[in-house]
Structure 1
Amino acid sequence: MEDIDKLMSDFPQFNYQYERMPEGIDGLNIGNEIIINSEIGKEEQLQWLYEEIGHAMTSEGNITDYHDRNNSWQENRARSWGMSHCLPRKELERISKSNVDNDYEVADDLGIQVDYLHTVGLMYGLRYKSID
């Protein structure tokens, strides 16, 4: 089963849609609806799907005004939820101990983008542009 399909089956309480979205919007959560931009690649769709499920699981209300401190806090919490579920720290530690040539290889094996791998690594306090 593809990662995206497995993730959606793990959270069947949500309705998932893929739609063309305006520039700069790659995912959206409204109630139990999760909408992912159909125009982006599978790797990005997976990353955004984790984040939007994170919003559905942790956020309350309309948090689109990021000047509001509470909204920014909820955005960060949902993003952290998504990253920690997409790539748990133990998995990242296991990978860093294996013989990998570079972060591109790791990201490819995980089905995510290198930039996302680095962002997750930073969240866990690892060095930038290296998972070890």
Structure 2
Amino acid sequence: MMQYEKLLDEASSLGLSVYERYLKGQIKGLYSDNVIWMNKSLPTYAEKYCILAEEMGHYKTSVGNILDQSKINNRKQEQRARSWAYEKIVPLSKIIQAHKERIINKYEFAEFLGVTESFLERALERYQEKYGDAINYEGYTICFNPLGVIEWFEDI
């Protein structure tokens, strides 16, 4: 709940208004003209947190009406907004922090971040698409499949 509330505060500081309403069909969230609509039927704060981050990603990265996902440009904008959300709430630094906290599985990692397991899974898949199987980051090597962190010795 705390992460969701922090993100709500950040949205507000950006001039975004966030409203929770029951939305039709499978719609979990929508962004338009500095307003984010969140589906009031979202069952957990983790899901609300993930959806809010994605809708903030649309604020940061999208232009125009992209509801028609049959158009390639709209799909690209959707992907950019999701990537922004992944990097916002599952940054590489948090993967290292989880390693230091001795978190040993994706369930615990999702709990640690306050996200859903499916969001975490998609974020890790996106990182693997972007960086390959591993990336060197701040003295560590982060492996994405399987997920793991290697801590390197300093020069001796």
Q: What's the TM-score once normalised by structure 2's chain length?
A: 0.77
CA distance in 1, matches of 2:33, 2:24: 20
- Counterpart in the other structure of 2:34: 32
Aligned AA (2:19): Q
Aligned counterpart in structure 1 of residue 96 of structure 2, from 93, 101, 109: 93
Is this contact kept in 1: 2:18–2:36, CA < 8 A?
A: yes
Q: Distance in 1 between matches of 2:50 and 2:70?
A: 24
**Contact 1:89–1:124 under 8 Å retained in 2:** no
Structure 2 counterparts to residues 1-132 of structure 1, below 5 A:
2-12=2-12, 13-40=15-42, 41-125=44-128, 126-127=144-145, 130-132=146-148
- Overall identity of the aligned pairs, in %: 31
Q: Give how far 1:23 is off.
A: 2.4
The separation in 1 between residues aligned to 2:80 and 2:113, in whole angstroms, is 22
Q: Quote how far apart the aligned CAs of 1:77 are.
A: 0.3
Q: Which runs of 5+ in 2 are unaligned?
A: 129-143, 149-156
| Paired residue type of 1:49 | L
Q: Aligned to 1:16, what secondary structure does the other structure show?
A: strand
Q: Determine if contact 1:96/1:131 at 8 Å carries over to the other structure.
A: no
Partners in 1 of 2:79 and 2:52 — Cα distance?
A: 15
- 8 Å contact 1:47–1:112 — kept in the other structure? yes
What's the TM-score, normalizing by structure 1? 0.90
Q: 1:131 to 1:22 in 2, by over 3 A?
A: farther
Unaligned runs of 5+ in 1: none
Larger radius of gyration between Structure 1 and Structure 2: 2
Report the RMSD for the aligned CA atoms in angstroms. 1.5
By percentage of residues, which structure has more strand? Answer: 2
Counterpart Cα distance in 2 of 1:57 and 1:100: 31
Could you tell me how far apart the structure 1 residues matched to 2:45 and 2:5 are? 11
SS at match of 2:20: strand
4+ runs of 1 displaced by more than 4 Å? Answer: none
